[in-house]
Structure 1
Amino acid sequence: MKANLKTLKKHRIYSEEFKLQIVHDFESGQFSVIQLEKLHGISNPTIYKWIYKFSTFNEKGSRVVEMKDSSTQKLKQLQTRIKELEAIVGRKQISIDYLEKMIDIAKDEFDIDIKKNSNTPQSTGSKHIKKH
């Protein structure tokens, strides 16, 4: 004969000191809610409830947004990439200014309009061009 057994729902009771420690760990940035959940085996909603109850920064009705380390790292990488691209653009602009100056000098010294594409004779290589 089998006994009619009910599965007992485990109901754990945590001390206020423990709850405050969890909230402190979260607020200090030491752990994310997901990390605390896995570390202590506490459900995600329970941890958020404690944060809203005991936190000095978060109030009920406001949303707690966590920036993951990967998000922070990605942001830093993007900022670094922006700086690199700005430096590249600066160097390219210097190069463009230099080449435009060379074109102006070629026009003045050798009477060649490099910017004008039509009816321009092809280069004969390294032969010197004599001014008439």
Structure 2
Amino acid sequence: MEETNNYVKRTQKDYSLQFKIQLVKEVESGTLGLSEARKKYGIQGDSTVRKWLQKYGNFDWDNQMSTNMPKSPEQKVLELEAKVKLLEKQKAQLERQNYIADEKAIIFDMMIDIAEKEFKIDIRKNASSEQLKRTQAKGKKA
């Protein structure tokens, strides 16, 4: 029986810039080590991740210290696109929560209306005309 080798030779051009930057962030944040990153993403070359760290990372390899290097326009665009996607997700989630809250408020109002009719009692607090006049007078003084 013959074993087939599924080895596919890749180059750095096979990986998108966004992928490289994301991997560099994971390694620099300490989430992954070099070998862990290679195994997780199926990167074959030993030096590939190191080259990406040198090219896209915040570590100054010449002076052996961490710096905040200016980002390329491509990096800035990718980061802003990621932020926009995140904000759109958060907006959609908040809109869903708002819709659910509005629906609950309508249902609770209906329940109160039914309870008031069934039991012939006032559940909602109705302000008397004297209370309204005092409240309005206080509002004008302030």
**TM-score over 0.5 for the alignment?**
no
TM-score bucket (shorter structure): 0.3 to 0.5
TM-score normalised by structure 2 residue count: 0.36
User: Which has the larger share of helix?
Assistant: 2
TM-score normalised by structure 1 residue count: 0.39
Higher relative contact order (CA 8 A, sep 6+): 2
Higher Rg: 1
